[in-house]
Chains A and B, each alone.
Chain A
């Protein structure tokens, strides 16, 4: 099977939240209640165990290039989702094997295996996956594994009215993204760039299967500027542990010997 994924082009997102609704409906996720964040039109706040698509509203008194307004004001909109990293922190951390890579090369949590240890929660460099308290298990976007198995496209991409969310084969998506970026640059939107499309863009994760076209620095959208899978460089931790462990054994023997004076 070829790898599939999302290309989310934030330059055409209109913030309608149809993706959020479609995701909730298709996956029959529980409601989060009614909240008023008081900061922008974003009352979903973040990706959660029960929220697998989240539209960010970056509302600022700032003028974007090519924009004409009476006073500086702009909105950046982005539909955020699990990135289905090529090297996924959650997958590499999962001790039960509940988190697997599917035939579509997406990252999937098997709810019938997950025992809710919570390790994936701290290992995701994007803060996507979470454990739902009353359910006890970890949940996140499945890239609509059930729909893909029957040849369908994920609910959010299907519902997106502006095709800001494009679903497809990863190779084709990259081609579409490159062309779109070229077009935007030729129109003078020089701040546009692709976030995490390939290994070169984001060596820490080996590239994302759900990548983005962004119009400002990643942190403006609450994305990490340079995320890395935690297992990268963890050899150093095992190394210092080895040294300390040897020290512990030596300390025990030395403590006994010093009292016994080394006699047998």
Chain B
């Protein structure tokens, strides 16, 4: 046995490949450790509080659903995709006047950077990174991830073309990039809403507006960090204010608990998810307050941009963390479904 293990061929399976062939459906599964470890099972136990099993009808308080397996790069992409989308839209809306040249070229650059780095971040999360092109193997309208992959690929090409052609880009390319940008900024909200996760499912109508308004805010936040002239600053600030107000409203609505969804919408108050969520709120409000100070100074603008950016990033991570919390809580799945059944009867 030790020979089979040291050969590194079939580790973790306690089977000598010379004696038997592994051809079963699961035989291709790779295992890291020679001694099988807990996998994802032990952490699961550690996270579960013990509570008398009789009080609620569930199975030893064990999670009913699987947690999202996405790593840090996915919320990072959510942020970048939002910035890229907002920049693409703003670039198309700006008139071709000289005083907006700098802003327009920054927008084109950020849009292109966002939709090029974004897919790289998504690939980093894949279990099999070499197979990232399989995302474009089929088009499946029922899957927001498939729709998003195609939008991202299309917008990537258009945004690169816009960047290369610069001011000379034909309007079809400019407007095409803007439409693609809107898709990239918004589909992520639908993607989270189209899951069985109790929190995201409960808030499925709210997530797309939250993502889009936060995309506007993040765009303004990122642009405010750059050198801008007076006209450009005004445009960015007004565009951003719409997004920030929308984001704040959507966040308030996200937190709203009704008797129907009380178990699912509890993660905003505690744990890592709650911390990130509150940080997002504080940063967003602080950014708006700075915006409203009438004094004209680039430091104030940059500080506001930084706070807005931080808030938008925290928001994306908070959504993933609170989603994980909701998946861990069996009552978040059972409760709302039970009440829906009773209401329907």
Known A31-B14, A48-B39, A244-B213; contact A230-B149, beta-carbon cutoff 8 A: no
Which residue from B62, B95, B128, B204 sits with its C-beta under 8 Å from A222? B62
Is B287's beta carbon under 8 Å from chain A? no
Shortest distance between the CB of A225 and any CB in chain B (Å): 5
Q: Which residues of B contact A137 (CB under 8 A)?
A: 29, 127-128
Q: Which residues of B contact A48 (CB under 8 A)?
A: 39-41
Q: Who on chain B is nearest to A38 by CB?
A: B45
Q: Which residues of B contact A168 (CB under 8 A)?
A: none
Is B60's beta carbon under 8 Å from chain A? yes
Segment 42-74 of A: residues with Cβ below 8 Å from B:
45-46, 48-50, 52, 56, 58, 60-62
* Contact in complex: A118, B127 (CB < 8 Å): yes
Known A121-B69, A131-B69, A258-B238; contact A241-B134, beta-carbon cutoff 8 A: no
Shortest distance between the CB of B56 and any CB in chain A (Å): 8
Q: Which residues of A contact B187 (CB under 8 A)?
A: 241
Q: Who on chain B is nearest to A229 by CB?
A: B196
Interface bits B143-174 vs A (CB < 8 Å: 1, else 0): 11110010000000000000000000000000
Known A136-B128, A219-B59; contact A127-B195, beta-carbon cutoff 8 A: no
* Contact in complex: B206, A240 (CB < 8 Å): yes
Is A252's beta carbon under 8 Å from chain B? yes
Bound CA–CA A116/B30 (angstroms)? 13
Interface size class of B (residues with CB under 8 A): 35 or more
Count residues on chain A whose CB falls below 8 Å from chain B CBs: 98
Shortest distance between the CB of A76 and any CB in chain B (Å): 10
Interface bits A111-138 vs B (CB < 8 Å: 1, else 0): 1011111110111111111111111111
* Contact in complex: B204, A127 (CB < 8 Å): no
Segment 173-192 of B: residues with Cβ below 8 Å from A:
178, 182-183, 185-187, 189-191
Segment 190-242 of B: residues with Cβ below 8 Å from A:
190-191, 193-197, 200-201, 204-209, 211-213, 215-216, 231, 234-236, 238-239, 242
**Can you list 21 A-B pairs with a CB-CB distance of less than 8 A?**
A28-B25, A29-B24, A30-B13, A56-B59, A61-B54, A92-B140, A97-B138, A117-B126, A122-B65, A122-B196, A135-B28, A135-B30, A138-B127, A219-B338, A224-B64, A224-B337, A234-B190, A237-B207, A239-B205, A243-B209, A255-B235
Known A119-B191, A123-B194; further 8 A-B contacts with Cβ < 8 A: A28-B27, A31-B12, A35-B38, A39-B53, A122-B323, A128-B66, A132-B29, A237-B205
Across the A-B interface, the 7 shortest Cβ-Cβ residue pairs:
A116-B127, A136-B127, A28-B24, A241-B208, A222-B59, A115-B131, A97-B138
User: Which residues of A line the B interface, CB within 8 A?
Assistant: 26-33, 35, 37, 39-40, 45-46, 48-50, 52, 56, 58, 60-62, 89, 92-98, 111, 113-119, 121-139, 142, 144-146, 217, 219-227, 230-231, 233-234, 236-241, 243-245, 247-249, 251-256, 258-260, 264
